[in-house]
Amino acid sequence: MTGSERLLLLRRGGGLWGVAQAAVAEVSRRGAGYRLRLIPAGEGGAGQELAADAVVGVADGMAVRPAGGVLARYWNEAAGGLAVYGTTPLVVVDPERPPSFLRVDEESEETEVDDGDGRPA
C-alpha cells in the first residue's frame, strides 16, 4: 500500500496509527475504547478486530511511503507503509497482517485501554 490513501486514524498505546478506510468494515465503541473490524482478505473469512484507545478521524489523500528497512531495524511487525499526519509520523497498518499490539485477543474480549501516557488504564 503506497501512494495516496484515505486513512482512518487511531490512537493506541500513545502512538498514532493509520488503517486504509477501505479495509475497515465497522467501528464500534467498546467501554473506554473502540473496536475496528477489518474486511476479510479472502471469501468467507472473518475479519480481524483491532483495538483503539481513540479514533482521531479520517484523513484523505495521505501520502503513504513504503516502510523499507528503517522501520524493520526497530520493529519486527509487518507494516503497510509510513505516513505523516501534520507533524506526527505514523505506521500504516497492513490489514492482512495487523500488528499484534493492535489485534484484539480472540480468546478474550478484554483489551487494555491506554490512558494516553503509554500505560494501561
Write out pLDDT tens, residues 64-95. 999 888 888 888 898 999 999 999 999 999 99
Set of cell numbers at residue 64: 503513504
Asked if residue 107 has pLDDT above 90, the reply is no
Residue 1 confidence class, pLDDT cut points 50, 70, 90: low
Is 69 within a domain?
Answer: yes
Which domain range does residue 21 map to? 3-92
- Which span out of 25-29, 44-48, 116-120 was modeled with the highest average pLDDT? 25-29
Residue 10 confidence class, pLDDT cut points 50, 70, 90: very high
Is 103 within a domain?
Answer: no
- Asked if residue 5 lies in contact with residue 20, where contact means CB atoms within 8 angstroms, the answer is yes
| Gyration radius of the chain's alpha carbons | 14
Is 112 within a domain?
Answer: no
Is 81 within a domain?
Answer: yes
Is 108 within a domain?
Answer: no
Structural domains in the chain (count): 1
Q: Is 4 or 11 the better-scoring residue by pLDDT?
A: 11
Set of cell numbers at residue 112: 487494555
Is 98 within a domain?
Answer: no
| pLDDT of 68 | 83
E-strand ranges in the chain read: 3-12, 15-20, 24-30, 33-38, 49-52, 54-64, 81-85, 88-92
Is 57 within a domain?
Answer: yes
Is 37 within a domain?
Answer: yes
Residue 46 confidence class, pLDDT cut points 50, 70, 90: low
